Structure 1
Amino acid sequence: MAAAIQPARLISRRAHLVPGKLHVTELFFEVPKNYANPEAGTLKLFGRSVTKYDRPIVPPSPSEAAKSERRPYLVYLEGGPGFGNREPQESALTRYALERGYQLLFLDYRGTGLSTPLNAEALAREGGPQAQADYLKLFRADTIVRDSEAVRMCLTADFPEEKKKWSIFGQSFGGFVSLTYLSKYPQGLREVFLTGGLAPVRRVAEDVYRATYRKVVERNQAYYNKFPEDVETVHELVKHISSCGGLPLPAGGKLTVDRLLSLGLSFGSHGGLDGVHAVILKLAADLDQFGFFTRAALVGFEQQLPLDTNPIYAILHEAIYCYKKGISSSWAAYRVGKEIHEFSWLGGKLSFSGMMSAKAPLYFSGEMIYPSYFDSYPQLVWMKEAANILADYDGWDDLYDEQQLLRNEVPVYAASFVDDMYVDFELARETANLVKGIKVFETNSMYHNAVRARSEEVIGQLFRMRDDTID
């Protein structure tokens, strides 16, 4: 069990109404920058608490109002790593949670959203590359869980004992965080919901990427089967970009071959194939009509993978698979990928004339971060040295306690997707077998972002597993 921590300090609370009968309270908290060294300073966390707004015929008494404000919490843990939350009215979970009597909390992880942000400018204040790397080590799931537990203790301080625990709902990386929470502070949890978030608890980054590259190959095949004309189109775009030595982008940085082929990240989502085709079509139309890419096309491209505004996703992505001491990532996605024939372009092995004559498709990459990104994204350029230090680092704290998971007593309800391109289904099954009492809904009719694209089906199924009895 993890060491005890102190409650977060509530700095401010502001409430307002949002159309749709939502009562939203904006909350700022203060937590230690480093829980192992509380004197090292503090960070701010931001969250939005949401309840259903009721306007009763007879105003409630003070005691009734107080009871209403103490509804049990359900906390949404976003995917990523490195992304903040959307507005509550944009989340499908809001309606489901409020209908069941929860108050919902959207808490931005440290370094994301409106919590103390992580960017090149802020990171530079920490000092040189080693100091920056040491600071970045404080943004993984183990610290996110400490932040969450500190906030729970703060918000439920005056709750009756039976309501002090809270429920959590983890999407994707949020599920990884949830498993760390189950390992470290199960006493704070009432129940756990996971969608596409059964982390590969026992697997290193190389294992993960060998599995996910296979699924990326399948999704590339699906893409080119749907849009066979893009085989030649992608080659033409790559030839143009290469002949120019890369192209400047409106927000800075460069459009390189690696960045163009990173569009495959979207292949694992509902509608992802069509979204990538739309970007390719726009770039190709520009090239055909003007001989260059217009600003509109380049801005649209930049928005596909916003690593400049969400740098944690790049700089700590492989670190989420370093689950204990003695493990380093060492740019695993790059090392594994360049040995796979379909991704040989990673090693600079493109032969345009030969590949074009054979009409061999160029394969897009998936959820992989490559060292070259730290040369082509303006914010990441300033973090490159720190990123290399982290890639070699092997002193990570444990993320999971397998023995605690094996004796788990907290109800866990998970949705796992057979065709998940980001969290491999077979590795997810391995993890499910480690969590005592877990109930898993497995399907091959949904993709990783089903919580948004098919929310009624996936969220409904999770709550049915919670509410129904299986004899």
Structure 2
Amino acid sequence: MSVSYRQPGVVLTDRRFTVPLDHNAPAGETIEIYAREVAAADRPGQDLPWLVYLQGGPGFGANRFVGRQAWLERALKEYRVLLLDQRGTGRSTPANRQTLPLRGGPAEQADYLTLFRGDSIVRDCELIRREITGGAPWTVLGQSFGGFCTVNYLSTAPEGLSAAVITGGLPALDAHADDVYRAAYPRIERKVAAHYARYPQDVERARRIADHLLSHDVVLPNGYRLTVEAFQSLGILLGGSEGSHRLHYLLEDAFVRTPGGGELSDAFQEEAQSLLSYAGHPLYALIHEAIYGQDDRPTDWSAERVRGEFPQFDAAKTLTGDGPLLFTGESVHPWTFDADPALRPLRETAELLAARADWQPLYDRERLAANEVPVAAAVYHDDMYVDTAHALHTARSIRGLRTWVTDEFEHDGVRAGGPRVLDRLLALARDEV
């Protein structure tokens, strides 16, 4: 039974759908998918077209907006919006350290998690679409990983789409994870340099914290082991519109004087653990590299291996000189599963996924080259999370796709830019600009 309720300017309706765990075995086990319908408060019953939102990630439930925040203000002028909690996230059947043991041991858990990539998410969408639209196609808005899912949608079920808009989410169509991270580390280094140019005082602060972590065993209040590599991973903030400022404020509160000397402050530790813990989104860590798996090569902890090709990211070596400490970005490493108590029970499962070599292709170049769905994509210049060169190469591979390349926004432009980003992309897709 659907339940409706109100927030300022909107009517929300909880929706639940039952879908096959494995779409290739539709008569087998099922899971539940949750989605929140959002309609403008002055026309909740109108027969408007649908827009489904595919959240970035992987592993995050859809945004929990209040009222008409961010891009919703523009979308609700003409659509009913469906905020989908992708399988395993949010209020959909969860996949985490508490629930995965129900599947069995690590091997069974790893097999289960292979069914949580973009191809399965798109097949969920198609079942849901037919249930709620009566078969009519809908518009999809894909942010980041949601854009990867959208390109899979265009490859496998374009008949379900009336239009597609993508923000910061055009994937490399056939690159291995190694190619993705080999392009990422220089990009991350540029973002770190830009941060230090804005906040030069942070150079010494970051070096001091790293030096402290190399000589002390620091365990955060939630049990997270804060190593220097974990500290460097806070650079993931630098891909967002406010990230550099947030990192600066975190660093300036790092130390406090105590009778035993300088120690990392409680305030710093509290904020660091909230940023580093995967307790709320473990799927991100478990299948992050798997979203790039498409051939008979394992991902094999790609981010960790490729990092070795960039010795400037080695904190211990950096501290023997006077150079700035480099932060890292959107990457998952074997040590992540040792450091985070929310992930430790899943370390063996993660190892099996990293070793897997039977990933199915996610994108169909021939279908994309013959695409007839109106598509527009925002490509953020020097996006920290998605390589611009890869994105533009993919854009040229999708027939009719129109790009908006901009350095006005970072990766979170669809949120930070409010209605403007969606408005421009819809106009591009409709050939109105």
TM-score (norm 2): 0.95
Q: Which moved more, 1:181-190 or 1:452-461?
A: 452-461
1:175 matches 2:163: no
Q: Give the deviation of 1:368 after TM superposition.
A: 1.1
The equivalent of 2:7 in structure 1 is 18
8 Å CA contact retained: 1:287, 1:293:
no
The equivalent of 2:317 in structure 1 is 350
8 Å CA contact retained: 1:25, 1:48:
yes
8 Å CA contact retained: 1:141, 1:180:
yes
Q: 1:116 to 1:286 in 2, by over 3 A?
A: farther
Partner SS state of residue 255, structure 2: helix
Q: Give the deviation of 1:39 after TM superposition.
A: 4.6
1:198 matches 2:165: no
Within a 5 Å distance, the mapping from 1:249-328 to structure 2 comes to: 249-285=220-256, 291-322=262-293, 324-328=294-298
8 Å CA contact retained: 1:217, 1:342:
no
For 1:350, the aligned partner's letter is K
**Greater Rg over alpha carbons, structure:** 1
The equivalent of 2:70 in structure 1 is 92
Q: What is the CA–CA distance in structure 1 between the aligned matches of 2:260 and 2:34, rounded to whole Å?
A: 47
Partner SS state of residue 361, structure 2: coil
The equivalent of 1:374 in structure 2 is 337
Q: What is the CA–CA distance in structure 1 between the aligned matches of 2:285 and 2:211, rounded to whole Å?
A: 26
How many pairs are equivalent?
Answer: 432
Q: What is the CA–CA distance in structure 2 between the aligned matches of 1:468 and 1:288, rounded to whole Å?
A: 67
Q: 1:434 to 1:467 in 2, by over 3 A?
A: closer
Gaps of 5+ in 1: 1-11, 56-64
8 Å CA contact retained: 2:255, 2:265:
no
Q: Give the deviation of 1:202 after TM superposition.
A: 1.9
Per-residue CA shift, 1:321-359, capped at 9, x if unaligned? 11x2313211111111122022134xxx5363x22xxx2
The equivalent of 1:62 in structure 2 is none
8 Å CA contact retained: 2:13, 2:36:
yes
Q: What is the CA–CA distance in structure 2 between the aligned matches of 1:298 and 1:286, rounded to whole Å?
A: 15
Partner SS state of residue 133, structure 1: helix
Partner SS state of residue 254, structure 1: coil
Q: 1:311 to 1:288 in 2, by over 3 A?
A: farther
Partner SS state of residue 76, structure 2: helix
Partner SS state of residue 433, structure 1: helix
Q: Which moved more, 1:461-470 or 1:378-387?
A: 461-470
Q: What is the CA–CA distance in structure 2 between the aligned matches of 1:226 and 1:96, rounded to whole Å?
A: 33
Partner SS state of residue 24, structure 1: strand
The equivalent of 2:368 in structure 1 is 405
Gaps of 5+ in 2: none
8 Å CA contact retained: 2:338, 2:344:
yes
Q: Give the deviation of 1:419 after TM superposition.
A: 1.7
Within a 5 Å distance, the mapping from 1:221-236 to structure 2 comes to: 221-236=193-208
Q: CA RMSD in A?
A: 1.9
Within a 5 Å distance, the mapping from 1:15-54 to structure 2 comes to: 15-20=4-9, 22-54=10-42
For 2:363, the aligned partner's letter is Y
The equivalent of 2:50 in structure 1 is 73
Partner SS state of residue 328, structure 2: coil
2:60 alignment partner, one of 77, 80, 83: 83
Per-residue CA shift, 1:170-213, capped at 9, x if unaligned? 01111000001111111111100001111111211111111111
Q: Give the deviation of 1:286 after TM superposition.
A: 6.2
Q: Which moved more, 1:283-292 or 1:37-46?
A: 283-292
1:435 matches 2:406: no
For 1:133, the aligned partner's letter is A
Q: Percent identity?
A: 38
For 1:328, the aligned partner's letter is P
Q: What is the CA–CA distance in structure 1 between the aligned matches of 2:370 and 2:27, rounded to whole Å?
A: 35
Q: What is the CA–CA distance in structure 2 between the aligned matches of 1:227 and 1:414, rounded to whole Å?
A: 32
TM-score (norm 1): 0.88
For 2:236, the aligned partner's letter is L
Q: What is the CA–CA distance in structure 2 between the aligned matches of 1:285 and 1:218, rounded to whole Å?
A: 31
The equivalent of 1:396 in structure 2 is 359
